[in-house]
Structure 1
C-alpha cells in the first residue's frame, strides 16, 4: 500500500486555470524588476526625485500583478 496515494485534493485547482494569467504575471514581474533596478541606479547615481518616480511607477506594475494573483 502506497502512503499518500489516496490523499484528497485540497483547495488547489488544476494547473490549467493557473496558466490563464501566468504569462501576463511574468511579464509584469519582469517590467517591475527592470524598473526597480533602473530606479535604484538613477536614485543613487543621478537624481533622487527621478529615481523615486521610476521606482513608484515600477511598483504600479507589481500591484497589478498582485491583483491578478488574488483574482485567480
Structure 2
C-alpha cells in the first residue's frame, strides 16, 4: 500500500510524466540509418536472386551470390554495432 501511494505521489509531483526507460533512440540520432537500409535492401535482393539461381540454374553461382549478399549483411551489422 505504501509503495503504491509513493508512486502516485511521485507521478503527481513530476507532472505525470515518467522518464523513458526502455525506449530505442530516435532514428534521427542514428547517423548510419540510411546506409544500413541500403545494405539491407542489397542483402534481401541478393538473397532472393541467389536462392532463385541456386534452385533453378547453377548451384555454384547461386552459392556465390548468396555469400556475397551475406557480406553486405555482415557490413550492416558492423554499422549497427558501431552506432552503440
Q: Same fold (TM over 0.5)?
A: yes
Q: Are residues 70 and 12 of structure 1, via their aligned partners in 2, closer, same or farther at CA, if it must alter by over 3 Å?
A: farther
Rounded Cα–Cα distance in structure 2 between residues aligned with 1:13 and 1:33: 24
52, 68, 75: which is aligned to 1:57? 68
Listed as ranges, the gaps of 5+ residues in structure 2 are 1-7
Rounded Cα–Cα distance in structure 2 between residues aligned with 1:6 and 1:26: 33
Q: Are residues 13 and 45 of structure 1, via their aligned partners in 2, closer, same or farther at CA, if it must alter by over 3 Å?
A: closer
Cα RMSD (Å): 2.4
Greater relative CO (CA pairs within 8 A, separation 6+): 1
Q: How many residue pairs end up in the alignment?
A: 70
21, 26, 45: which is aligned to 1:34? 45
Larger C-alpha radius of gyration, 1 or 2? 2
Rounded Cα–Cα distance in structure 2 between residues aligned with 1:10 and 1:67: 25
Q: CA deviation at 1:7?
A: 2.5
Shift >4 Å, 4+ stretches:
11-14
User: What is the TM-score when the length of structure 1 is the normalising length?
Assistant: 0.82
